Amino acid sequence: MFISERRASRAGTGQYRVGLAPRLRAWSFHRHRGRDADSNTDGDVNRHDVLILSTDPLAAALLGAAVELAGHVPRFALPAEGARTALRRLRPRAVLIDCDHDEACSDAFVGPALMTGAHVHFVRSARTRRDIGDTARRLGVRVIDLPMEHGALASLLEDLPISSP
């Protein structure tokens, strides 16, 4: 599995370099190719990707950790990227939207997100400034109230639909 090479150093002592065997190196490259690119070449919805849109970086990171623990892949908009552009770039299976996110928490974003087949959920806390209840009912979007118990949040995230392969 691992290969070590003995290489001479300037001091004359041998150093060992450990690396992956060529077959595993090729497997690792093909297995993870495109993971960092965040782009789909086939245009399909990503099976485990969950786009998180929040104005609060700490809240987004905590939601991302919960999403990851539930077996999904958290994705975020790039620093200068709008919500719709991130949606088109990532094509996630689900979208978690902080209710205080002005651009994403609107009909102009939620409508197109639902049309891509993504499952949209609004996330709010006691500090949320906007009442999203009427909009959520009108659009048929679920509202997640935080804080919630870890088991309930994990269950909700594990139940996010996964498209067929």
Positive or negative, the CA dihedral 136, 82, 114, 108 is positive
Q: How far apart are CA 63 and CA 65, in angstroms?
A: 5
Would 37 be classed as within a structural domain? no
Would 91 be classed as within a structural domain? yes
Q: Indicate if 26 and 69 belong to the same structural domain.
A: no
Place of tokens 């609060």: 56
Would 122 be classed as within a structural domain? yes
Q: Decide: 67 and 96 in contact? Cβ < 8 Å.
A: yes
Q: Indicate if 151 and 103 belong to the same structural domain.
A: yes
Q: Indicate if 103 and 26 belong to the same structural domain.
A: no
Domain containing residue 17: 2-32
Would 134 be classed as within a structural domain? yes
Per-residue pLDDT of the chain (165 residues; tens, 9 = 90+): 444 455 554 555 555 444 444 444 444 333 333 444 444 444 555 567 899 999 899 999 999 998 888 888 999 999 999 999 999 999 998 999 999 898 998 889 999 999 998 999 999 987 887 788 888 899 899 998 888 777 777 777 777 665 443
Would 43 be classed as within a structural domain? no
Would 40 be classed as within a structural domain? no
Q: Indicate if 96 and 151 belong to the same structural domain.
A: yes
What predicted TM-score, i.e. pTM, was given to this entire model?
0.68
What are the structure tokens assigned to 105, written together? Answer: 């928490």
Query: What burial class does residue 107 get, using C-beta atoms within 10 Å of its C-beta: 0-12 exposed, 13-18 middle, 19+ buried?
Result: exposed
Would 74 be classed as within a structural domain? yes
Looking at the 3D structure of the chain, how many domains does it have?
2
What's the distance, Cα to Cα, between the start and end of the chain in Å?
Answer: 30
